[in-house]
Amino acid sequence: MELKECMNFLLSVSQNKVFKYFSKLLEEHGVTPAQYGVLNCLWREGQLSPKQIGTMVYLEAPTISGILDKMQKAGLIERSVDPNSRRNVLVSATPKAYELREKIEAATRTMNEKVLENLSETEKEGLKKGLESIINAEF
């Protein structure tokens, strides 16, 4: 099989290229693509547990924990004890994170536009649906 026929190769190279571009756009705001994922969840859903965030962004607990540690040090999130269950921690975005929201979402739109600029509307929809199917597939 030709390398360009291998789905793992195509997805890995594409993801790496998009990740590098997105990282560069977010860098001026002091946020990584993974941190953007967390902030996006918090901006849209409000307070969440680390487990909920991990589920939403498809990351394991140790990975989320490391991301949250760095975000807390950067002043982007706060952790608090869940008043309904003292064993649970809740994560919320800080005012600093909300101040960055518009700029970060603009960077995200710029990234999407650049990545999809050479595709027709039909191709864009097909790509999104195809990627969502892969995400939801059982392997």
pLDDT per residue over 56-115, tens digit each?
Answer: 999 999 999 999 999 999 999 999 998 888 888 999 999 999 999 999 999 999 999 999
Q: Helices in 58-120 by DSSP H: which ranges? A: 61-73, 95-116
Domain span at 38: 21-136
Residue 132, pLDDT > 90, answer yes
Q: How many domains, in total, are found in the chain?
A: 1
pLDDT of residue 82: 83
Q: What are the structure tokens assigned to 39, written together?
A: 């902030």
Q: Which CATH number do you get for residue 108? A: 1.10.10.10
Domain presence at residue 65? yes
pLDDT of residue 42: 98
Nearest to 135 by CA among 42, 63, 58, 60: 58
Whole-number Å distance between alpha carbons of 134 and 139: 9
Encode pLDDT of 41-50 as tens digits. 999 999 999 9
